Structure 1
């Protein structure tokens, strides 16, 4: 996996997820990310790739992309156990 850096996250967001409206893989990823982050007491945020031309050009249809602490963690699919371990 690449270590591309996402757009600047909120200061306290450990997990940043690049998403797109109408993306079923994004919806699936968020159903995993939300409870894992809640259980780990880790902040998270989503960023719509279509809200920024540079993001749209960089990630095109490669969403969702999940970053943990500024490092790319997952592309398309999120494994709950792996995410929990990264947040431990």
Structure 2
């Protein structure tokens, strides 16, 4: 039997970021409605990511596509799930 692969959402974050913690909580609630996996990546551990996202964290992305930053835009995430 084939196990379905869940969509992977990536949150670019940094330690001590209150907006990042808020987005994490909101994504946890959203997981009650949609099945997906979340990967959290600390941008301060990668020079390229820090340069790319420095003042815009948190950034929610699917692959190279950014869905939103600073705040969870539920409409953007739901629009993404409608495309699956």
Task: Give yes or no for TM over 0.5.
Answer: yes
Q: TM-score category by the smaller chain?
A: 0.7 to 0.9
Task: Give the secondary-structure state (helix, strand or coil) at the position aligned to 2:55.
Answer: coil
Q: Between Structure 1 and Structure 2, how many residues are aligned?
A: 78
Coordinate RMSD, CA, aligned: 2.0
Extract structure 1 runs of 4+ deviating beyond 3 A. none
TM-score, scaled to structure 1: 0.74
Which blocks of at least 5 consecutive residues in structure 2 are unaligned? none
Mark the structure with the bigger radius of gyration: 2
The answer to whether structure 1 residue 82 and structure 2 residue 72 are counterparts is: no
Q: Comparing both chains, which one has the higher relative contact order based on Cα–Cα distances under 8 Å and sequence gaps of 6 or more?
A: 1
Distance of aligned partners of 1:47 and 1:55 in 2 relative to their CA distance in 1, 3 Å threshold: same
Normalised by the size of structure 2, how large is the TM-score?
A: 0.77
The correspondence of residues 63-74 of structure 1 with structure 2, limited to 5 A, is 63-74=57-68
